[in-house]
C-alpha cells in the first residue's frame, strides 16, 4: 500500500497538511480503537436480526475507544461496516 507522506509535497502546502492529517488519523485509529465483532447467532439484540448492529463508541479513561459490531449470520464484517457507516451518515 502506498502511503502519502507530508514530505512528498512542498512544506505548508494544502497537500502536505492533508497528508499529515491523514497520517495522524490513521495512527489514532490504529492505536486507540478496538472493535469487537460478534456473530448474531451468539449475541441477540433487539431489532431486525437481518441487519448489523453497532453500539456507540465508548471512550475509556485510558483513551481507548471501544464498540461492538453484531453481524447477522452469513454477513461479512466489510458488508456490516458499509451498512453501519451509511446509517451513521444519515
Reported as a single tens digit per residue, the pLDDT across 26-84 is 765 555 788 899 987 777 777 788 889 999 989 888 888 899 999 998 899 999 999 98
Q: How far apart are CA 59 and CA 82, in angstroms?
A: 23
Q: Which domain holds residue 20?
A: 6-88
78 is a domain residue: yes
Considering its fold, how many domains does the chain have in total? 1
**Does any domain span residue 74?**
yes
pLDDT reported for residue 90: 67
Domain presence at residue 35: yes
Question: Is 66 exposed, middle or buried (CB count within 10 Å of its CB: 0-12, 13-18, 19+)?
Answer: middle
Q: Is residue 64 part of a domain?
A: yes
Q: Is residue 1 part of a domain?
A: no
Residue 75 in grid coordinates: 454477513
What's the pLDDT tens digit per position in 55-71? 998 988 888 889 999 99
Classify residue 63 by burial, with Cβ atoms within 10 Å: 0-12, 13-18, 19+: exposed
Amino acid at each position: 500500500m502506498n502511503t502519502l507522506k507530508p514530505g512528498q509535497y512542498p512544506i505548508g502546502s494544502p497537500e502536505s497538511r492533508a497528508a499529515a492529517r491523514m497520517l495522524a488519523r490513521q495512527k489514532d485509529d490504529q492505536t486507540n480503537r478496538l472493535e469487537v465483532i460478534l456473530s448474531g447467532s451468539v449475541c441477540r439484540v433487539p431489532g431486525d436480526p437481518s441487519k448489523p448492529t453497532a453500539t456507540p463508541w465508548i471512550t475509556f479513561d485510558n483513551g481507548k475507544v471501544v464498540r461492538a459490531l453484531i453481524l447477522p449470520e452469513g454477513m461479512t464484517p466489510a458488508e456490516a461496516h458499509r451498512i453501519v457507516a451509511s446509517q451513521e451518515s444519515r
